[in-house]
Amino acid sequence: MIPTSAILKAKLLIVDDQLANVLLLERLLRGAGYSAISSTQNPTEVVDLHRQNRYDLILLDLKMPVMDGFQVMESLKGIETEGILPVLVITAQPNEKLRALNVGALDFLSKPFDIAEVLARVHNLLQVRLLTLETQRLYEQVLVEQDLSEMLLHNVLPHAIAERLKGRSKLTADHLTQAIVDSYANVTVLFADIVGFTAFSQLVSPEVMVGVLNDLFTRFDHIAEHRGLEKIKTIGDCYMAAAGLPVVVTDHADRAAQMSLDMLVAIQDFNAGSQHPLNIRIGISTGAAVAGVIGKSKFVYDLWGDVVNTASRMESHGTAGRIQISDATRQALIQPFSLEHCGVIKVKGKCDMSTWFLNNSDQN
């Protein structure tokens, strides 16, 4: 319910060509405690006045020269976006009451005025009117918050995964603990690490450090989106992305290769305009993986499997400014790329592996 104090602050407009009726209604309403009362004897002014002031209720006489109440209501329909006219019509003709309601009036007052009837109808209409506006405001607020929640959900999770979460009919505790997990026969995982970032972070302020990371990772995000990779996460100064999930594609290795080459260009562009030149080391591998969302709070889309460990080793055993890929990735490439055999290297936790450098086309 709307409190009486709010109802008494409602904005009212009295429209009647007879000054005596205007003064009588003003006296009745002010005596009941209403304070925001305006009036006019010229019906042609109503639309402009309402557009400027947005009255909560208009007490409108139907019989007026130049422009009658029905014409006023038709004009008001052009500016009332809610489709409801805040009009209480005033008439001495019983046959006009039904017509006025059909045109869009909320209720009617009969002439001559009955004091109790005037105050009761005004109070009741304002109660309904203000309650409707408050409900609409709350509904719009819910929509805004829903849009914000969906935006945040899509920022945290891949679009396809976010839609699956939204599609669950009931968000109960049981539903929240049901993991979303998918297996993939072949995906390509990319790791990029900023070389010497720990030492760099000790030489600059926290604000500068975070600003640099944000700049670089935002550039990488744009590349991932352009090349069709899914950003998985960042861990400190390490950036992880994957191709071929959650939507399966056949050219996942090519996409990751193109992204890694773009990342080298991005770091060069960053260095050209930065006082803090940096370098990156990139590793890529291809293989089977499991991906999904687990847990019941702070949802995170993550990736598991030997391919993740191998891609990480490709990065950590790599060389600054270079892209090291596993032989599995080399075999998965569809388009021709410039590759340089690194030979067989010893990889911690794994057997000896044959690896390759992925070069720009103009590299030897």
Q: What is the mean pLDDT of the chain?
A: 87
Query: What pLDDT score does 150 carry?
Result: 63
Would you say residue 42 has pLDDT above 50? Answer: yes
Is residue 172 predicted with pLDDT exceeding 60?
A: no
- For residue 184, what are the domain limits? 162-359
pLDDT of res. 165: 67
The CATH number of residue 75's host domain is: 3.40.50.2300
Identify the helix (H) or strand (E) that includes residue 95: helix 94-103
- Asked if the structure places residue 152 within a domain, the reply is no
Asked whether residue 235 is assigned to any structural domain, the reply reads yes
Residue 160's pLDDT is what?
67
Determine, yes or no, domain membership for 148.
no
pLDDT tens-digit series, residues 293-346: 876 666 778 899 999 999 999 999 999 999 999 999 999 999 999 999 988 888
> Are 129 and 217 contained in the same domain?
no
Q: Is 150 part of any domain?
A: no
167 shares a domain with 312: yes
Amino acid at 52: Q
pLDDT over 90 at 36, yes or no: yes
Lowest-confidence range among 62-71, 112-121, 167-176, 238-247?
A: 167-176
pLDDT band at 161 (very low <50, low <70, confident <90, very high): low
CA-to-CA distance for 285 and 296, rounded, in angstroms? 30
Q: Whole-prediction pTM value?
A: 0.60
**pLDDT at position 240, please?**
96
Q: Which of these three, 107, 139, 171, is where a domain ends?
A: 139
Interval 46-87: pLDDT, tens = 999 999 999 999 999 999 988 999 999 999 988 876 667 899
β pairing state of 323-326 and 301-304: unpaired
Contacts of 52 (CB under 8 A, 6+ apart): none
Position 226 in a domain = yes
Q: Are 124 and 221 found together in one domain? A: no
Confidence label for 364 from pLDDT (cuts 50, 70 and 90):
very low
Is the pLDDT higher at 229 or at 344? 229
**Do 43 and 94 belong together in one domain?**
yes
CA-to-CA distance for 105 and 110, rounded, in angstroms? 14
Q: Do 174 and 305 belong to one domain?
A: yes
Q: Which two tokens mark 330?
A: 């080399």
Higher pLDDT, residue 300 or 193: 193
Least Cα distance to 245 among 265, 222, 229, 233 occurs for 229
Q: Quick one: pLDDT band at residue 146, thresholds 50, 70, 90? A: low
Stronger pLDDT, 23 or 146, i.e. the higher one: 23
CA nearest to 190, candidates 136, 264, 84, 131: 264
How far apart CA 354 and CA 351 sit, in angstroms, is 10
Active site residues: 193-194, 237
pLDDT of residue 169: 46
Distance of alpha carbon 264 from alpha carbon 107, whole angstroms = 72
Q: What percent of the chain has pLDDT over 90?
A: 58
pLDDT of residue 149: 61
Number of structural domains the chain divides into? 2
- What are the C-alpha distances in Å from 302 to residues 33, 218, 219, 232, 292? 63, 19, 21, 6, 6
Q: What is the pLDDT of residue 147?
A: 66
